[in-house]
């Protein structure tokens, strides 16, 4: 028997199938961990062998084998004969005909005019934003790159600077977000088990928990309806940027080469589903229209709001040379 839970398949011995609880215990060595990557809103699918149907299942449970915790169970009894033994695949909720059309995805090209990428936090934008872009349920905050919800295109052999303003407050996972690059779509490296970490390759240095920087957060009024906006650019006009002025950004440099996979992901060490794709290419595509970002450096953004911060922010050094950056920022070179 195979149990498919949020994309994770669990194998059981057929001879033990008659009692579901017995299978679960007997086949424990074959269980693949179901971790916090499952955030709800996804189908749980049980594929039964050809010789079995729903009549052979006594009960189902969500059970943590490692800690012997039963999170909940339901008895399968008095099953009506009118229930078909097989149900064809159903549309997911996100794929329903009344699903909301998402905002157009923004792509940032790592060309000669864009060798620096700044990572800050912002709201996911409801069903039109991060959820539509990634087909995943987002964390409370997600990464904004140069002030945008975006995927990135990087060219092999070119060195890029990633400036990180995800927060360094370790007392709360919401505002402690070291940035790292890996081949894992979901992120949250700090929450993974040792076994799961062995399945992830990190490309931004040996320690994915080191580069977090000060907190810069885009936010808006809670009563703003994300669905009323046709594009992310329209939505971002409602946001306000606030950065810690008593701390500094962090940064690291990343140079993809011929051994770098074609697809990577920028992620948060502390939280799942905050980042998205990095396309690594030999030549930047000419079919994607390059965009001009709205101001996202704090001082520049304040000037657009006709408000001047009473404090001098550390990010003013971004207009200086790389040497100046390394004097005031936590710099990690890879």
Task: Identify the burial level of 3 via C-beta atoms within 10 angstroms of its C-beta, where 0-12 means exposed, 13-18 middle and 19 or more buried.
Answer: buried
Q: How far apart are CA 14 and CA 317, in angstroms?
A: 64
Q: Are strands 160-164 and 106-109 parallel, antiparallel or unpaired?
A: unpaired
**Per-residue pLDDT tens over the stretch 255-290:** 999 999 999 999 999 999 999 999 999 999 999 988
What digits encode the pLDDT tens for the residues 169-222? 999 999 999 999 999 999 999 999 898 999 999 999 889 999 999 999 999 877
Scanning the chain, the segments in alpha helix (DSSP H) are 20-26, 130-134, 194-197, 232-236, 298-304, 322-328
Spatial distance between the Cα atoms of 150 and 106, rounded to a whole number of angstroms: 5
CA distance 69 to 213: 38
Domain borders along the chain are 2-90, 106-306+319-333
Segment 92-115, tens digit of pLDDT: 555 554 567 899 999 999 999 999
- DSSP for 85-141 reads S--PPPPPGGGSTTPPPPPPPEEEE--TT--EEEEEEE---GGGTHHHHHSS---SS
pTM for this structure?
0.68
């Amino acid at each position: 028997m195979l149990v498919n839970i949020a994309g994770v398949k669990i194998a059981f011995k057929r001879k033990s199938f008659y009692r579901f609880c017995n299978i679960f215990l007997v086949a424990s060595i074959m269980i693949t961990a179901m971790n916090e990557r499952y955030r709800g809103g996804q189908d749980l699918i049980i594929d039964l062998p050809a010789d079995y149907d729903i009549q052979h299942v006594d009960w189902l449970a969500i059970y943590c084998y490692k800690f012997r915790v039963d999170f909940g169970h339901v008895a399968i009894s008095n099953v009506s004969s009118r229930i078909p033994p097989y149900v064809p695949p159903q549309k997911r909720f996100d794929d329903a005909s009344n699903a909301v059309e998402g905002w157009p995805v923004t792509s940032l090209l790592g060309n000669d005019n864009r060798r620096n990428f700044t990572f800050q936090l912002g709201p996911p934008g409801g069903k039109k934003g991060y959820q539509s872009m990634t087909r995943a349920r987002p964390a409370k905050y997600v990464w904004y790159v140069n002030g945008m919800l975006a995927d990135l295109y990087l060219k092999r052999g070119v060195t890029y600077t990633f400036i990180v303003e995800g927060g360094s407050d370790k007392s709360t996972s919401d505002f402690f977000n070291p940035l790292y690059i890996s081949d894992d779509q979901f992120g949250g490296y700090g929450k993974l088990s040792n076994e799961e970490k062995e399945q992830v390759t990190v490309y931004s240095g040996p320690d994915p928990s080191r580069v977090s920087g000060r907190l810069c957060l885009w936010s808006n009024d809670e009563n703003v309806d994300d669905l009323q906006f046709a594009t992310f650019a329209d939505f971002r006009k409602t946001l306000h940027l606030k950065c810690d002025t008593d701390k500094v950004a962090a940064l690291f440099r990343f140079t993809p080469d011929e051994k770098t996979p074609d697809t990577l992901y920028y992620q948060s060490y502390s939280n799942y589903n905050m980042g998205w794709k990095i396309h690594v290419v030999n030549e930047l595509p000419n079919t994607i229209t390059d965009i001009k970002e709205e101001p996202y450096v704090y001082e520049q953004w304040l000037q657009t709001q006709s408000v001047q911060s009473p404090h001098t922010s550390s990010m003013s050094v971004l207009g200086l040379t790389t040497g100046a950056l390394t004097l005031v920022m936590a710099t990690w070179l890879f």
